[in-house]
Structure 1
Amino acid sequence: MTERIRTPHAVLVLLNLPVPDDQRAWSQALALRDDGARVSVVCPAIRGRRPGRERIDGIDVIRFRSFEGQGALATAAEGFWTASAAAKAARSALRGSRGGRRMLQIGNPPDLLFPLAWWARRKGIRTVYDQRDVVPVLAESRAGFSRLTPMFLAAERRMITTADVVITPSEEQRARILERYGRDAIIIRTAEVPAERDEGETGAPGNLTAPVEADAADADLSAASAASAAPPDLVIGYLGVIGEQDGLTDLLDAVALLRSDGATGFRVEVAGDGPALPAARAHATRLGLDSLVTFHGWLGPGAVDTFLGRIDAMAVPDPDNPFNHFCAMNKVTHAMARGIPIALRPLRENVRLTDGHAYEAADMTIRSFADALATLLKDAPAGRAEIAAAARATFEAHLSWPRHAPRYIEAVSPARP
C-alpha cells in the first residue's frame, strides 16, 4: 500500500466523453502508464457506459453518473452537474496517493473545473489544462449560447492562469492563447491512430474507437456491406459527432447540387450521432436523397473499422464559423493516417493539417464544396491515391502520436522530475 501511495500518480479528468472512447485521453493515459506513473481517468458514464470503477489495461477508470443535455439550459445543467461530480471523484483519487508526485490534467469542454485546479495547486499537485475546444468561441457560434460567452471567457481565463502547463491540439488555438493570455501552450496534436493498410486499398481499416451504441447500427452496416457485392459506386464517408457546427446538412445540400449537375456513380454514408442528426435525416428526406445517403448512427469499435475500410473518400463539410477555424478535426487526421483522400472546406486549421494534400474548396460556399467533391469524383483512381499518399506522409511526419507522445510525457508526466 505504501508503494502504491508513493508511486507518481496522474489523474486525467474528462467531462464530455468516457474512456477508452476518448482517443486523445486514452492515448495520453497509456503513455503516462508506460512512463511509470499510476494513472486514473475520471470521466462521465454516458454512451452506454455505467457509473462505477473498473481497471482497463492497467489504468483505473472512474465513471461518474451523468447525462447529455439538449438545448442551452439542459446543456448548462449538464456542465455544472458533471463538473461537480468529476471534481468530487478527482479529489478522492488524488487524496489516495499522498506522498508521491501527483499530476492533475483537466480536459475541456467545458471550462468549469478551475476550482478543482485551484485546489490541486494549493496541494502541490502539478496541474495541466488540455484545451481541446475554444468554448467561448463555440458559444458565440451556437444559437442560444452567445449570451453565456462572458461566463465562458471568465472560466477559460481562470483555467489558463491557474494551470502549470497548457496543451492544445491546434496551432490556431495556441496562437489565440498566446495573444489573449500571454501563455505559450504546447501543441499535442493527436492520439494514437493505427495507419496500416494493405497495398491497393482505397480506404484503410484501422482501430478507431468509438462509443458503443445499439447493435442495430452494426447490423445496418453489415447489411450495407453485403448489399455492396455488386460493382460499387465510389463511397463518400462522413464520420463524427453531429452537431450544429459540423455542417452535415451542408454536405447534403452539396450532394443535391452534384445530383442536379448530373453526377453519378457515388453514394454517401454517414456514421455518427449527435443533437443535429434528426434534423439531418429530415433534411435528406426533403431533398429526396434517401436512396443516395445512408445513416448508420453511432458505431461500435469493430463497425467503425469496417466503415473506414470501405469508404473511398472523407467529406469534411464543416462550415465557416469562428469556432471551426480553430479545430484540429479528428476526421481529418484519421483519414490522413489511413490514406483516405479528403474533400474539405478551407478552414484555417484543416488547411494547416492537410498542407495542400486534399480536394480543397475554393471558398466556404456550398457550391464550392460541391465542386471540390466533383473534382474528387472525376479524378482518376491514381490521382486520388497520390493525394491520399501525400496526406498520409504528412501525417506520419508531423501529426502522428509517436511524434507528439515524447513531448507530452516530458511536459506533464509525474514520473519525471
Structure 2
Amino acid sequence: MRAGASAGNAPRAVIVVLNLPVPDDHRVWAQAQALRDDGVSVTVVCPAIRDKRPGKATIDGIDVVYFPSFEGAGRLGTIVEGAWTTFASTRAARRALRQPASARMVQVCNPPDMLFRLLSWARRRGCWTVYDQHDVVPALAGSRPAFQKLERLFLACERKTVAAADMVLTPSSEQVERLRKLYGREAVVVRTASVVAGVRTQPPEDEDTTVLGYLGVIGEQDGVGDLVEAVDLLRGRGVTGFRVEIAGDGPALAGVREQVAQRGLGELVHVRGWLRPEQIGPFLDEIDAMTVPDPDIEFNHYCAMNKVTHAMARGIPVVLRPLRENSRLVADSGVLAKDQSLPAFADALETMIGLPQKERAAIGERLQEIFEAELSWEKSSARYLEAVSPARRG
C-alpha cells in the first residue's frame, strides 16, 4: 500500500527528528522508507533547515512536515533552538497522530532528549512509543565546556525519555550497555542507514598519490582539526605522495578552513563542504582510505560512526583512533592508532600511506565482509521493522 495522506486507515507511523531534515538525515529516511514498504502510512516531522522551506510535502510516498526552525549558536542559542523545536515538532506530531489509523506508532529521535512529554501523551492514547537514541546527549554535553553545567539536566531528560518509550533503539553496542547499566533497559541495535555499497567504479586519477578521505559532520567533537594537525606533522616528517579530501559540514567547518589556510596546507588538504546523497558514491570512488580522527572523549566511544560503515560497505580501508565502538565495528581489521595521541594518529596515517595497494585492498575486503555479515541495512531494517512497525502490531 502506498503511504501518504490517501492511505486511509492504514497503520500510521510518525517519526520526529529535531536536528536534521529529511532526506538529509539518512538514518531517519531509510527507516521511513522501510516502514512505507511495510504498508505503513508514514509522516516525518523535521526542521526546515539546510535549504528546506516550512510546510508540507510528499516525497516518495512519505508525508513530510517541515516546521520553521533555525540552527542555534552557543549555549543560549542551542537552548532556545531546543525549546522551539520541541514545541513546534510536538504540535505537528500530535496533529499527524490524530489522523485515522488501524494502529499508531510515534518515534522520537535525539538530539536533544526533549520529547518525553510527546511520548507520554501518545502512550496514553494507545500509541506504540519508540525512542531512537542517535547520540548520547549527556556525554556530548560533557565534552563541550560551554554545556558541561547542563549535563545533569540532559541526563534527567534522557531518563524521562527512556521511561516514556515502549521500545528503545540505538546504533551502538556501547550505547546498549550504557542504557542497561543506567536504566535497566534493553535496546535494539539498528546499526546504520542504507549506504553506498559495492566497489570502486572508477580508477584513481593518480596511482602514485594516496587519497585519504573524511566524510561526516565537522563539529567540536569530530577531530577534523586534529586530522589537519596530523597532516602538518606528516609534512614535517617529509612524508609525500598523499592528499586529504574532507567532505562534510558543521559548526567547526569555518575553523577547519582557516586552519588549513593558516598552515599553508591547501595543496594537501581540500575542504569540500556538505555532499548531497548522490555525491557520496563518487566521493568514495576517489579515496583510497577513510580517516577517523575523532578524539578520546566519552561521547565518541559510544558512536558507531557513519563514515566507518560507509567505508566498510564500499570495501575501503579505515585508519582510526582506538575508540571502543569503532574498534568493535572493524574487529581486527583497519589500521588502528596505538593510542589516542596526535602523533600516534599521524603514525597510523603514515602506515596507511605506505601500504602497497594490494594490502590496502585486502583490508578493504575484510571490512566489507564484516559489514555484509553484521552491519548491513538489510539486517538492521529487519530488526527495526520487527521492533517498531505498527503494521506488525495489529
TM-score range, shorter chain: over 0.9
Task: Compute the TM-score of the two structures, normalised by the length of structure 1.
Answer: 0.91
Residue 111 (structure 2) pairs with residue 83 (structure 1): no
Which residue of 52, 62, 75 corresponds with 1:72? Answer: 75
For 2:221, what is the secondary structure of its paired residue? helix
Which residue of 212, 229, 232 corresponds with 1:256? Answer: 232
Q: CA deviation at 1:194?
A: 2.9
Matches within 5 A, 1:13-412: 13-97=16-100, 99-197=101-199, 233-412=209-388
| Structure 2 Cα separation of the partners of residues 67 and 24 of structure 1 | 21
Q: Are the aligned partners of 1:340 and 1:388 in contact in 2 as well (CA < 8 Å)? A: yes
Which residue of 385, 391, 394 corresponds with 1:415? Answer: 391
| Structure 2 Cα separation of the partners of residues 337 and 301 of structure 1 | 15
For 1:145, what is the secondary structure of its paired residue? helix
* % identical equivalent positions: 56
Query: Aligned letter for 1:412?
Result: V
Q: CA deviation at 1:231?
A: 6.3
Q: Which moved more, 1:157-166 or 1:189-198?
A: 189-198
Q: Are the aligned partners of 1:270 and 1:297 in contact in 2 as well (CA < 8 Å)? A: yes
Query: Aligned letter for 1:127?
Result: T
CA 1:42–1:260: 2 relative to 1, 3 Å: same
Query: Aligned letter for 1:134?
Result: V
Q: Are the aligned partners of 2:201 and 2:285 in contact in 1 as well (CA < 8 Å)? A: no
Aligned residues: 390
Q: Which moved more, 1:394-403 or 1:270-279?
A: 270-279
Q: Which moved more, 1:185-194 or 1:358-367?
A: 185-194
Q: Are the aligned partners of 1:5 and 1:100 in contact in 2 as well (CA < 8 Å)? A: no
For residues 190-238 of structure 1, give each alpha carbon's deviation from its aligned partner in whole angstroms, at most 9, with x where no partner exists.
1111312257857xxxxxxxxxxxxxxxxxxxxxxxxxx6666211111
Q: Which residue of 2 aligns with 1:224?
A: none
Q: Are the aligned partners of 2:211 and 2:242 in contact in 1 as well (CA < 8 Å)? A: yes
For 2:179, what is the secondary structure of its paired residue? helix
CA 1:247–1:124: 2 relative to 1, 3 Å: same
CA 1:192–1:2: 2 relative to 1, 3 Å: closer
| Structure 1 Cα separation of the partners of residues 76 and 6 of structure 2 | 46
Q: Which runs of 4+ in 1 moved over 3 A?
A: 1-5, 198-202, 229-232
For residues 296-339 of structure 1, give each alpha carbon's deviation from its aligned partner in whole angstroms, at most 9, with x where no partner exists.
11122333332221111111000000000000000000011011
Q: CA deviation at 1:259?
A: 0.9
Unaligned runs of 5+ in 2: none
Q: Are the aligned partners of 1:239 and 1:331 in contact in 2 as well (CA < 8 Å)? A: yes
Q: CA deviation at 1:340?
A: 1.1
| Structure 2 Cα separation of the partners of residues 152 and 237 of structure 1 | 33
Query: Aligned letter for 2:336?
Result: E
For 2:156, what is the secondary structure of its paired residue? helix
For residues 78-118 of structure 1, give each alpha carbon's deviation from its aligned partner in whole angstroms, at most 9, with x where no partner exists.
11111111000000001112x52000000000000111011
For 1:244, what is the secondary structure of its paired residue? coil
Query: Aligned letter for 1:117?
Result: L
Backbone CA RMSD of aligned residues: 1.6
